[in-house]
Chain A
Amino acid sequence: MLKKILKRVLISIPVLIGVVLLIFIMLRIVPGNPVVTLLGEHVNQQTIDKLSAEMGLDQPIVVQFFKYIWNALHGDFGTSYRMNRSVTQMIMDAFPYTVKLSLLAALISWTIGVVAGVIAAIRQNKLLDRLFMGTALLGVSMPIFMAALLLQYVFAYKLELFPISGYEGFAALILPAIALGWNSAGSIARMTRSNLVEVMQDDFIRTARAKGRTESGVIIFHGLKNALLPVVTMMAIQLSSMLSGAVLTESVFGIPGIGRLAVNAIEDRDMPLLQGTVLFTTVLIIIGNLVADILYSVLDPRIREVK
């Protein structure tokens, strides 16, 4: 088991290196000298050379790459062009907002998703099932910014239940969390339903019923216990993608998280900041996938024992 986990961790390392390399190259084939973009056209060559040397841009690209990796390993993602601040510091300032938002979104969407999925599976092909699954598909199909705008309009503007935007206090995070979790709730509900429907046809369910267990006991202790295994893996992946993918939600509700940072970096043509945020979030995703994969094998003895 331990060996397997180790092997899985090792597989991630080349991917990680590839990710850094790809981003590094993509951000450096941008046409034009970044220093000129930064200072404007009307600067003399001397100033440009001086700043280039200061930012290390006069060195060969290979040297720049290894320097970047070395610094990144020491937690230094460089300095933002526009803000003249440490990128690491900016990410660390923004990250707590994204974490709070994602955790709340996960809590809301998983609760709703699992409950709706179970009810739909029990009432298979009945009205409630159709209703829930229809809503779930709506959740999967609705653009996240539309969900955000609708929530903002109905609950913040018309009903005045929540602040329209901002990030102070718990109440301000509820609408963004629903908007962010909206898609996840839909896919969790669909997955829970289809898994539970399938598991409930297995032999051990018949055995449990024959032993005289109540139907709710059979569903919870025998059905759900097995049906939720893949769902749990899905959840781990969803959490990491929420942490990194809150770009649209943060943009609508004005939350100064990681996603907002990435969008600002593009608008300001701030290369080190964009590079830092993208790498940070991608590493998060890779770790999330790793955890999901390991979790799945730990939870499911059938996989655990496969050689």
Chain B
Amino acid sequence: MKAYENPSLESEKISGGQAVYIDQQSPFYPEDNSADIGESDTILDKILLLVRQNKLAVFSALVILIIILLAVFAPVVAPYDPAAQSLRDRLAAPSAEHWFGTDKLGRDIFSRTLYGARVSLAIGLLPTLISMVIGTVLGLFAGYYGGKTDFVIMRLADIMLAFPSLLLAMVVMYTLGGGIVNIFIALSLVNWASTARVVRAQTLSLKEAEYVEAARSMGVKKTTIIFRHILPNCLPSLIVLFTLNIPSAILSESSLSFLGVGAQPPSSSWGLAVTEGRRYLFSEPWVPLVPSAAIMILVMAFNFLGDGLRDVLDPYLKEQ
């Protein structure tokens, strides 16, 4: 059944973050009986296991940490003001003075890349968090209440997932107009459905668990059961999903900005920097390629980390 498992890496990255899915409502979709969530290890134990076993994931976490630190301390680290133009030095090759060269306005690419990391990280973290909160709440309610609630929420999710995510984001950007804030809104609204599906499936199996039944028979309120007893058990999967959704969001932002419908000048988004530098690909290739490489490194680090986390945390993991 691998076609259905772990949609994150296997399928979501096709064609630059296009979400691809198989309808789980399908009569062909196999019955889910793989939820065996009875392990006693805490999340912390499992993360320690990851640290011992998966050097690549640890290295990726380190890379992410460094990028976060560089972004936070960009004003201290950056050798130049990212907006400072110096037409005398325009399109300079990488040198000791300008590590990654300069762009068409003589702005230091290294400094701009550091500041651009702020945009990419913010885009990766915040809309992903918002969309996952929406998806989690909807998934919990759909799974626990079932019936009409479930039907309405899941049909809505079906509709959202039917769109190629890049196209849907493009439509939202058409409605809202360009700009970084609007990308935040677009990505928050577009990506909740896959989370809702995963959480719903887990809730369905968790609500049959004995401890939930015990809570129910003691007369615990429904919302309390959902948020105190079911949600915590979805957390491992949510952590994995979160880590793997971040690179999708980063790729979406850079794709939108690359197409000219995302961030607008003079912001220093990486995707925007690529599209602005495209004209110089053949004469000064570092201008578009440095920000491209920055996107790739950040996305790859999150993918490796997410893969590693999935191996230790995800209870749906196939035994090998």
Give the interface of A toward B (CB within 8 A): 4, 7-8, 11-12, 14-16, 18-19, 22-23, 26-27, 29-30, 137-138, 140-146, 149-150, 152-153, 157, 180, 183-184, 186-187, 190-191, 194-195, 197-198, 230-231, 233-234, 237-238, 241-242, 244-248, 251-252, 262-263, 265-267, 269, 274, 278, 281-282, 285-286, 289, 292-294, 296-297, 303, 306
Contact = CB atoms under 8 A, between A and B. Distances in A.
A238 B255 contact: no
Contacts of B28: 4, 8, 293-294, 296-297, 303
A194 B10 CA distance: 11
Contacts of B156: 18
Nearest to B173: A266
Given A8-B28, A180-B15, A247-B259, A285 B170 contact: no
Contact of A153 (B25, B274, B282): B282
A135 B171 CA distance: 33
B288 interface: yes
Nearest to A22: B159
Contacts of B158: 14-15, 18
Given A4-B27, A238-B14, A266-B261, A18 B159 contact: yes
Interface in B253-276: 254-255, 258-261, 274
23 contacts: A8-B23, A14-B155, A19-B159, A19-B163, A142-B299, A145-B16, A145-B255, A146-B295, A146-B296, A153-B285, A190-B9, A191-B10, A197-B320, A234-B3, A241-B18, A241-B164, A244-B167, A263-B259, A278-B171, A282-B163, A285-B162, A293-B23, A296-B3
A29 B189 CA distance: 15
Given A8-B28, A187-B9, A293-B26, 17 more contacts: A18-B162, A138-B300, A142-B299, A146-B274, A146-B293, A186-B13, A230-B1, A238-B14, A238-B20, A241-B14, A241-B15, A247-B255, A248-B255, A266-B261, A278-B167, A281-B167, A303-B30
A297 to B, nearest CB: 4
Contacts of A152: 281
A182 to B, nearest CB: 9
Interface of B: 1-3, 9-11, 13-16, 18, 20-23, 25-28, 30-31, 155-156, 158-159, 162-164, 166-168, 170-175, 247, 251, 254-255, 258-261, 274, 278, 281-282, 285, 288-289, 292-293, 295-296, 299-300, 303-304, 318, 320
Given A137-B304, A187-B10, A146 B15 contact: no
A11 B22 CA distance: 13
Contacts, number: 210
A152 B282 CA distance: 9
A8 B127 CA distance: 33
Contacts of A248: 15-16, 255, 258-259
Nearest to B255: A248
Q: Max chain A CB contacts within 10 Å: which of B23, B167, B260?
A: B167
B16 A140 contact: no
A238 B21 CA distance: 10
A230 B300 contact: no
Given A8-B26, A143-B251, A262 B170 contact: yes
Nearest to B25: A11
Contacts of A150: 289
Given A143-B251, A266-B174, A289 B23 contact: yes
Contacts of A281: 164, 167
B15 A183 contact: yes
Contact of B167 (A140, A142, A282): A282
